Chains A and B, each alone.
Chain A
Amino acid sequence: SAVISQKPSRDICQRGTSLTIQCQVDSQVTMMFWYRQQPGQSLTLIATANQGSEATYESGFVIDKFPISRPNLTFSTLTVSNLSPEDSSIYLCSVESGGGGYTFGSGTRLTVV
């Protein structure tokens, strides 16, 4: 099954700044997914990143706030821009793994102060 390396694992950021999260997969994948998990909550899909095209955002998420890059079939970045305390969450990337299931990166715990 696919193995995802996600970094950073955690960060503390000032209001108004941005954080870029990276995910590297050990195999080529068509789609990569970015999720947010707010404290004590479930996972919510932010966007789907396809190589060579614009990311597709879910309702409530916009490109200006969550720009995504997908330069090749093994890598993607999610930037969380203009940070506010409400952005404090865990952000996870996900890809389809062997056998049809979906595996997650280890997550990035973001705290905005």
Chain B
Amino acid sequence: GENVEQHPSTLSVQEGDSAVIKCTYSDSASNYFPWYKQELGKRPQLIIDIRSNVGEKKDQRIAVTLNKTAKHFSLHITETQPEDSAVYFCAAGAGGTSYGKLTFGQGTILTVHP
């Protein structure tokens, strides 16, 4: 089955700096890569996603890049703010009989210091 590795496990940055979180996946059939933000005691919230026919996607301060050949994808947050502090999870999903099933990375605790 799919295996998703996420790094780093913790990330501490100063407000205004950029933050980068990286994930690798093992199953070449995976074609959907979402990123979730989870604040303490709350449900995971989808912040951005990318499909395998696209190399990069941006939404304001957030961007995701995908390298299918190397099987890795990254989340980039620019101009970080204290409210960006949360746990971030990457995930990988596939089609066919695995449609809709997401395999999650281990999570990254992001702390943005004012």
Instruction: Show the binding face of A for B, using Cβ within 8 Å.
Output: 31, 33, 41-45, 48, 58-59, 92, 94, 96-97, 100-107
B43 and A107 contacting across the interface, CB-CB below 8 Å: yes
16 A-B pairs besides A45-B101, A45-B102, A102-B102 with CB distance below 8 A are A31-B99, A31-B100, A33-B100, A33-B102, A41-B106, A41-B107, A42-B89, A42-B107, A48-B100, A58-B101, A101-B46, A102-B100, A104-B43, A104-B44, A105-B43, A106-B42
Closest to B105 in A: A42
Question: Measured between alpha carbons, how far is A35 from B49 in the docked complex, in Å?
Answer: 19
Count contacts on B: residues with CB < 8 A to the other chain: 22
Question: Measured between alpha carbons, how far is A4 from B75 in the docked complex, in Å?
Answer: 27
Question: Measured between alpha carbons, how far is A103 from B96 in the docked complex, in Å?
Answer: 20
Scan B90-109; emit 1 where CB is below 8 A from any A CB, else 0.
01010000011111111100
Report, nearest first, the 7 A-B pairs whose CB atoms are least far apart.
A104-B43, A42-B104, A101-B46, A43-B104, A31-B100, A42-B107, A42-B106
